[in-house]
């Protein structure tokens, strides 16, 4: 059963409209979102198992910021700005890899220890009296939750552990912190404003029509709900009915019993949203994440990775392969829907959303954005060049 129905609705028509179309195509909104949303919330970079050895690193680029997460010689995982203190180059060029015993900037060769300290400067005397101690890599707010590495570029507020406390007990049996990568981080970039990407992911109303694989897997059992701390949860279960599609049928049949999980979770796919754009996924055979991030006003990326407990059984390997196959199809289907929806917002015929109670996750998400960006309540865009100031006035007046 779904958790809400039209009969229970207390939402007036005015609240069904969603964010105005203009804000899905505005460089000024994007600049404010970068500053107030992406720089000031915890963002997921990956899992500690992706950087097991000293010198292993992974990165995250977003909101004109660049994060570098690297494992030190002492085994510690640390986060820095991926920003050379000489002239601002990246200090690691690749998205992930191993930098050896030192991080050497590809521009002029300044080198840093894995703990961020400035170690070497070519032709150091040419800088006069350069203070090495104050020119190390700049550290970044970092928190590791069940092996998942989060960073925050600016601001304060609850830790990720405090934020995710409502799901702590449900997540613990999966032993996410012990898991190993099942794949390399995947990444798909496409044309759309980032909010249009998260909109599609924040409701399950589209699942029966748009995702044949997911619908065949969990059908009417799927439901969305909002947990404490405004954590969106979606859950669907399977195994109690005949599945039609080859991949789904074999997944349900081959999946070994997940005896480390409570019975209610042994045949369930569960998703928890982490504002602003990440989703943690919990399956009986594996866990993972995916996230939507802006690459600009009109371009976004969807990226993620899967993790599992070491398990050499053939049937587990097959189940994980089929899980990935079902999820890959759903991801491609979502990207198509995102594009169509976002294109539609720019049409002269677009009159705004009409959100059902089954899309309450979208409304909750918009409400959250409106809290920091009250300018998104305006039906029309403010005159060019005034948006940041107008937003501040609205915040001050609230
Ligand atoms: S910018 Fe890094 S060494 Fe010059
Ligand atoms: Fe979807």
> Over the stretch 38-92, which tens digit does the pLDDT of each residue have?
999 999 999 999 999 999 999 999 999 999 999 999 999 999 999 999 999 999 9
At 9, the pLDDT band (50, 70, 90 cuts) reads low
Q: What are 45's two structure tokens?
A: 């970079």
pLDDT digits (tens, 9 = 90+) for 306-342: 999 999 999 999 999 999 999 999 999 999 999 999 9
Q: How many CB atoms lie within 10 A of CB 376?
A: 23
Q: Which of 90, 92, 107, 121 to mutate to test the pocket of ligand 1 (most atoms within 8 A of CB)?
A: 107
Residue appearing with tokens 């759903």: 330
At 17, the pLDDT band (50, 70, 90 cuts) reads confident
Give the Å distance between the CA of 33 and the centre of ligand 2.
24
Closest atom of ligand 1 relative to the 122 alpha carbon: 3
Does residue 1 register a pLDDT over 70?
Answer: no
- Please state, rounded to an integer, the average pLDDT across all residues of the chain: 94
Report the C-alpha gap between 239 and 250 in whole angstroms. 11
Res 3: pLDDT: 41
- Our answer on whether the CB atom of 271 is closer than 6 Å to any ligand 1 atom is no
Report the C-alpha gap between 333 and 212 in whole angstroms. 10
Long-range Cβ pairs for the range 71-74 (8 Å, 24+): 71/114, 72/113, 72/114, 72/115, 73/101, 73/114, 74/115
Q: Which residue's CA is the closest to the ligand 1 atom numbered 4?
A: 108
Is residue 163 within a helix (H) or strand (E), and if so which, with residue range? helix 160-163
pLDDT digits (tens, 9 = 90+) for 101-159: 999 999 999 999 999 999 999 999 999 999 999 999 999 999 999 999 999 999 899 99
Question: Is residue 65 classed as helix, strand or coil in its secondary structure?
Answer: strand
Is residue 361 within a helix (H) or strand (E), and if so which, with residue range? helix 360-372
Report the C-alpha gap between 31 and 100 in whole angstroms. 36
Res 5: pLDDT: 40
The half-sphere exposure of 138 on its side-chain side, counting CA atoms within 13 A, is 16
The ligand placed nearest to the CA atom of residue 121 is: 1
Q: Which residue's CA is the closest to the ligand 1 atom numbered 1?
A: 87
Q: Which residue's CA is the closest to the ligand 1 atom numbered 3?
A: 108
CATH number, span 43-163: 2.102.10.10
Give the Å distance between the CA of 93 and the centre of ligand 1.
12
The ligand placed nearest to the CA atom of residue 361 is: 2
The ligand placed nearest to the CA atom of residue 333 is: 2
Domain ranges (residues) in the chain: 43-163
Q: Which of the two residues, 83 and 13, has the higher pLDDT score?
A: 83
Rounded to 5°, angle at Cα 218 from 306 and 3 = 105
pLDDT digits (tens, 9 = 90+) for 179-212: 999 999 999 999 999 999 999 998 999 999 999 9
Give the Å distance between the CA of 200 and the centre of ligand 2.
6
DSSP character string of 218-246: HGGG-EEEEEGGGEEEEEEE-SSS---SH
Report the C-alpha gap between 280 and 14 in whole angstroms. 32
Q: Which of 80, 86, 91, 104 to mutate to test the pocket of ligand 1 (most atoms within 8 A of CB)?
A: 86
pLDDT digits (tens, 9 = 90+) for 95-111: 999 999 999 999 999 99
């Amino acid at each position: 059963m779904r958790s809400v129905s039209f009969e229970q609705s207390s939402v007036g028509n005015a609240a069904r409209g969603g964010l105005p179309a203009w804000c899905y195509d505005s460089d000024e909104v994007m600049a404010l979102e970068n500053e107030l949303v992406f720089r000031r919330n915890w963002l997921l970079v990956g899992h500690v198992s992706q950087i097991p050895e000293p010198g292993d690193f992974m990165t995250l680029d977003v909101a004109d910021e660049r994060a570098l997460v690297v494992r030190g010689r002492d085994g510690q995982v640390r986060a820095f700005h991926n920003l050379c203190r000489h002239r601002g180059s990246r200090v690691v060029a690749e998205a992930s890899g191993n930098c050896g015993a030192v991080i050497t900037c590809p521009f002029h060769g300044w080198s840093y220890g894995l703990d961020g300290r400035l170690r070497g400067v070519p032709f150091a005397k040419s800088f006069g009296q350069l203070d090495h101690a104050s020119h190390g890599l700049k550290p970044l707010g970092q928190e590791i939750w069940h092996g998942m590495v989060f960073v925050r570029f600016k601001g304060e507020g609850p830790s990720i552990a405090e934020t995710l406390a409502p799901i702590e007990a449900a997540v613990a049996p999966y032993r996410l912190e012990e898991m190993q990568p099942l794949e390399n981080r995947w990444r798909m970039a496409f044309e759309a404003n980032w909010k249009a990407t998260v909109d599609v992911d924040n409701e399950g109303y589209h699942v029966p029509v748009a995702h044949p694989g997911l619908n065949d897997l969990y059908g009417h059992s799927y439901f969305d709900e909002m947990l404490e701390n405004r954590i969106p949860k979606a859950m669907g279960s399977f195994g109690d009915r005949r599945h039609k599609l080859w991949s789904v049928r074999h997944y349900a049949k081959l999946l070994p019993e997940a005896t480390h999980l409570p019975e209610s979770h042994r045949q369930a796919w569960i998703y928890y949203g982490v504002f602003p754009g990440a989703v943690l996924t919990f399956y009986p055979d594996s866990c993972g994440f995916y996230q939507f991030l802006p690459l600009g006003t009109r371009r976004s990326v969807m990226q993620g990775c899967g993790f599992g407990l070491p398990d050499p059984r053939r049937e587990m390997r097959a189940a994980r392969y089929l899980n990935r196959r079902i999820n890959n199809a759903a991801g491609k289907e979502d990207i198509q829907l995102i594009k169509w929806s976002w294109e539609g917002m720019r049409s002269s015929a677009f009159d705004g959303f009409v959100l059902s109670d089954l899309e309450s996750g979208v409304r909750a998400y918009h409400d959250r954005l409106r809290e920091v960006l009250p300018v998104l309540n305006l039906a029309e865009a403010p005159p060019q060049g005034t948006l940041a100031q107008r937003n501040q006035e609205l915040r001050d007046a609230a």
